[in-house]
Each structure stands twice: as C-alpha cells, then as structure tokens.
Structure 1
Amino acid sequence: MKILFLALTFPKIGQSSNLYTDLMEEFRDQGHDVFVIAPMVDVRVGLLNEDGINIIRVKTLPLLNVNPIRKGIANVLLSFQYKKAIKKYFLQEDLDLILMPTPPISLVDVAVWLKKKYSSKLYLILRDIFPQNAVDLKMITKGGLLYDFFRKKEKKLYEESDFIGCMSRGNIDYVLNHNKDVQKQKLHLLQNWQKVMPLFDGDKAALRKKYNFDNKFVIIFGGNIGLPQKLENILEVAKLYNENDEVLFFIVGNGTEKQKIEQLCIQMKLNNVVIMNSLPREDYQNIIAVANAGLISLSEDFTIPNIPSKSLSYFNAKIPIIAAVDRNTDYGTIIQDEIGAGVWAVANEPIEIKQKIDYLRANKTVCNQMGEKGYQYFVDNVTPFHTYSTIKRVISV
C-alpha cells in the first residue's frame, strides 16, 4: 500500500523515536510505501528520506510546551501549512490509506481533502478525545465559541473516518455514548504500542548509585509534565513520607507545568522528589530498569477514559505500575485486574495512593510477579507488529 501519515510529532528517524516512528517503521518493514508529513526537525524542510521513510518536513509555529493560546493558534494553522506542503511535495498519482492520530483534530480538513482527492480510506488513531479533555482541564468552556468550533471538527472527523482505533473498551463506549451518529462498526480496539527494547544487562547497583537511588524504593515517572498529569497530586503523596521511609519519586520529562512543580517541591521542602529533563529513550529505559515501580498520574477531573502510553516502558522494564488516576478511566482496572501488572488509586486521594505504594514496598515478590506479567502482556499484545496487524486486518475486511 501507499500510506500517508499525518503527524504532530515525528522525531528524526535514527536520532529519537516515539510510538508513531515505531509504527511507520513497521509499515516500511512490511514492504509498504510510507510517506509522513510532520513538523521540521533541525531546521530541515521539504521532502526528505529518513531511513527508507519519505518525510515531508514543514515549518510550523511551536506546537509543544507552549501556552494554550499559542498552541491553539499553531494547531489551527497546521492544516493550511500541511495542505500547502502536500501540494508541493506529495507528487503521487495514488494513495491507498491516510493515517491520522489525535491530537490534533484540526488536521481533519487535510485528511478529508486527501481522501476525496485520492479516493483513499481514512484510519483514525484516536489517542485523545478533544475538546472534552480541554473542558475537563478547564482550558475551554463547554458551549463556548472555541468548544463549538472544535466539537464540529470532532464530529466531522468521526463521520469522515472509515475506521477508528480506540485505546480501550472504555474509549469505544465513550465515543458511542457521546456521539449517537457514529457507526458502531467503525470502532475497534487499538491499544498503545511500543518497540521491545533490550533489557538492561549492565551493573544495576552501579547505575542506582549513579542516580543516588541507594537503598530507596524508587518510583519513576517519565513523560510530559502538564495539566493532564497533575503531578501536584503526587507531591501530596511525597509529603506523607519522611526521610527514614527511603522512598524517592524520580520524575523525568518536560512540559508546561514543570517549572510550577519544581517551585512546589521547594515550597513544600520535598527532599524525596527529583526532577530531571527528558532523556533519549534508551537512557531512560535503562534508568527505569533500576527503579522499583513506574508511576502513572492523571488529573482526577477527567471525564474521558485516558490510557497513558508510558505504561509500555514500565512493562518493558519489568517493573510494577502505580497508577493515580481518575474514576472515569478503565486504565486502573486494566492494569490491576486484567493484566495484573500493578495497582491503582484515585488521583486526589494521597493516603490511598500511599497505601498502594506501601503494599508494593512490603511485597518484593508481588512486585516481581507484576513486572513479569506486564512484560509478557507487552510482548504478546502491544508491539508495533501487533498494531500493524490490527490495522491491516481491519482495513482489509
């Protein structure tokens, strides 16, 4: 097939990676002709070949780690910028499949234009239910002009998509319950995915010493530090421990709320919280391998079921997951009851979260068992090959 992927973030192949580079590499390896349109990297624009994948790099406004107003403007302009670049560089006579993830939904106009131009199929990878998530985080008001604008885009996206891959059963139910016109047969399960990384086989004791983990029970968090993660809840948990408890919260990442979280740590005099900048995936995976548990944090205000992709790095490292999440997601049930790879508690209940942490601290054997279950589930169900196979099967029916 000839495939065009509409990307919001797409690191340079070979230098870094994310779930979308993993998936496009899988399509390439399966013999398909892959094109990607994405923001520029290293000030390089135009049609580039990156390790066998044709990538149209486009100059855009900043899309990540900026305030909501700048981000909103950049996302609205993205559709026009991508369409202009496609006209200039995508000089193809045919196109079989358009792959579009959310966020952002603003690219729906480009997707629909391509679909009509080439009589292509449109596959929506639904990773973000917008604008409701922005309402939950009090970034926009339900019923306001911005909400109505993006809600129309969302409805158009569901209507025009031929296939919709959702992260969980809860996601499927939510979309159907809140969008009565959506055809049920379009929706199916498409879980988050990640390449299997080699397990760390170095000196774990030396690596723990390097990061001053010592004899501590290390709970690691990696990824975006923003409003959706609401790490203030985790700081409230950290406050419940004293130095003698030997519990360390190790946070790796960047985001719009990072500076705020760092300032709160100082104000709250939290010596058991360390915050580092983002790391390359391999380095980060090695640090995870010597941590004791992986942390998931979501705002308790969410009304939509979110499924964080960072779980896969924890699975890969064979460490149990501690999830502090809202009541509306099925993530906690999936992790704790279906996979058996961790525990969960309500995000704004610090005592409850501490109890779950203390349970893992006191049960090393249980931690090991959870780690093994998570790893086995990962390699058996959610690698890029599994995702590719699901997409290929669905569009072939």
Structure 2
Amino acid sequence: MKAEIITIGDEILLGQIVDTNSAWMAQALLSLQIQIEQITSISDREEHILEALHNASKRADLIICTGGLGPTKDDVTKFTAAKFFNTSLVRNEAVLDHVRGIFARMNRSMPDINHGQADVLANGEVLFNDWGTAPGIWVSHEEKVFVFLPGVPFEMKSLMTHRVLPKLKEFKSEEKIAIRYILTVGIGESHLATQIADIEDSFPAHLHLAYLPKIGLVRLRVSASGRDLEELEKDVEHYTDLLADRIGDAVVAREDLSFEEVIVRSFVESKATLSTAESCTGGNVAKQITEVAGASEMFIGGIIAYANQVKEALLHVEHATLEAYGAVSEETAIQMAKGAQKQLGTTYAIATTGIAGPGGGTPDKPVGTVWVAIAGRSEVKTKLFQFHQDRVLNIERTTSQALLMLWNLFQKEKGF
C-alpha cells in the first residue's frame, strides 16, 4: 500500500511551526509496512487542497490529510473535501454532544461557531476525537482511502493510534520493506562514505543505503523492498553486518536511536551518573539528555553558571583562576567540571564555557571560542574549539562535541 501525507496550514509554509506530524505518521505507518511516497505541505486555500487531493489520489492508495478542521473561517478542509468527493456536510449529533460535553467539563459556554465542528462528510465515517472538538473522518472513495485528521499533534496522534492504525491493519500490503540502522559518531559523512564505498557498490539493486548526517554524527539506513519479507530481512542484516564491521569503533548503535539515548542507556547499564556545568550552552546539554526517557536513572542535575559569581559560588571555581585566565579558559572549564562532579556527587561531569556570540569576542578569544571539559573516574579531558559567528550553531556544535567527548572518556574508562 502506497501512502501520501498532505499537511494543510499557512503556519507551516510561513515557518511559524515545524511539521512534526508527518515524521510521526511516517514511522507509525512503516510499522504496518505502509510506505510514504510523498509528503506535501499546502496553504489553507481551496484550490491548493483540491489540487493536492487530486494529485495524491493518482499516486497513492492511502491519503492522510492533517489540519484545517477547526471552527474558524480559515479552516476550509472539510468544505473543500466535500467538493472533491461531490458530497455534502451533515450534522452528526453524537459529535455535537461530544463537543458540548467538552465545553461543559471546562465550565465554559460553547460559541455558535463550534456547532460546525459536528458537520462531517456525508460519505465518510466519523473518527471520534477523545482529546478535542474536531473529529477525524475516514472516506473510502474509488478504491482509495482518505483520512482527514486535526493538525494539533496530540489530537492527531491519539486519532492515529486509537482509530486509524487499527483500521489500517486490515489492509495487506504486498510490497514489503526491511530496514536496519547504524549510528556513527566522530566520523564525517565524506570520510565514512569513502571507507565503505566498495561495500555500498556491492549492494544488490533492491537494497539502498542512505546517509543521514547531523552535527557530530551520521546515521546510516539500510533498506530493502520487495515481496518476500524474510529474504529482505536476511539481506539487510547481512549488509548491515558488513558495514558495521568495516566502520568499527565509530559505531555506537545498530538501532534507530539518538546519540543521547545511547549515552543514557549505557550509563544506566554501567550504573554511572552524570552532571553538567554549563555556561555558553545555557542548559542545552542537560536538555538533550533529559529529553530521553529514563534519564532520571543517570542524570543527577545541572548548574547553569552563566555569570562568574555563580561559577564561584556554586561550582567553587577559584576567583584567582577567573582573574588570571578568564571565564573562557581551560583552567576554568576544568574547575567547573570538577565542581559539578563534587557538588552533585556524580561519576562524570560535563563543563562548557565559551563565547557563543554574536558579541563578546576579543582578538585573543573571538566569537566561537569554546572550552569543554569532561571530568571522569580517573582524569579530566579538555578540548578547545574555534567555531563560527552563529550563536545557535555554536551552541549546537558545543553540545554535540561535549557529548562525544563524554562518550569517548566513558568508553576509555570502562572497567575502572
């Protein structure tokens, strides 16, 4: 079964929000062996919606649309879909009772405009929205399936999980796909590609290797498509083994995991703990770690020591060190890391101090100058980085390098 996703909303095209719905739906559908052929983002305009529905119906068997189901005048998805299917909207009393109930539970009067959310496509099946006022709608039309969902992420996810995916399990897709992942750190994309070029060249036609780079890491995706899932699984496993053996120590995971997830898992398994002392990253290192479920088992806490007085008072950085070397220095970074490690009682500690920009640089320490220190079981590792003028990028690069340094020291000290 081939599928397409259409996201509707001017806010996406204007960059006011990021379309996270499509990525989540693509992963959910892949678990049912349903492959996404195309994702299209369009504005809240009738002509654009009609065109997108028409084009998608020529390519895909399943078309999922998100957005434009709200009560306001700019939400035109249902009205446009009625034109596309040459049908009408009808008032669904069960949906109307549900909407009334939501307002009653909030002890608020229901505006007349919300009555329209109970209007659904006459040729569709209502998908009740337990978390909001806009129901989803399932339409079977000319041997195609169209699903219309609200754009609010938590409402969409609830409807997909409890209403849409169970219905899609009834559909059997003849085309199968098998996928494996390799997560590498500390090696650039071009160097990695050169290292495994001969293996990639030996791939049979039904296998594909994708490079998914981010700052500090590259994720490899090995995929195969065909009709015999068992054979596909054997093929991708064989070639993934070849790649992983060739890449060696740069491989940190053979699952679809983030680097932060790998760190959290490894620390938990080793009963190691982590703390952070952040200046120029402003808590971003701690944020990346604590976004991982289970981080509470290894992350004790962090101190955002932006001002020198905080470095002294909470991390016990010596005043003489700051006077002699400055806040952005190896000496200060070391004392920050040791201070966090001691104050919070952790096995490891990360410290970052630098000039993120755009101001604050000097001839000796220009914008982008960063020191990172990692305090471990037996030693402290430090490194100086000279990044660029972009503040956001400097913070991201510092975070990435800090986590890589942490990982390298953690691997070195295993068994201590």
Higher RCO, 1 or 2 (CA under 8 Å, sep at least 6)?
1
Structure with max Cα Rg: 2
Please confirm whether the aligned pair reaches a TM-score higher than 0.5, indicating the same fold.
Answer: no
Normalising to structure 2: TM-score of the pair?
0.26
More strand by share: 2
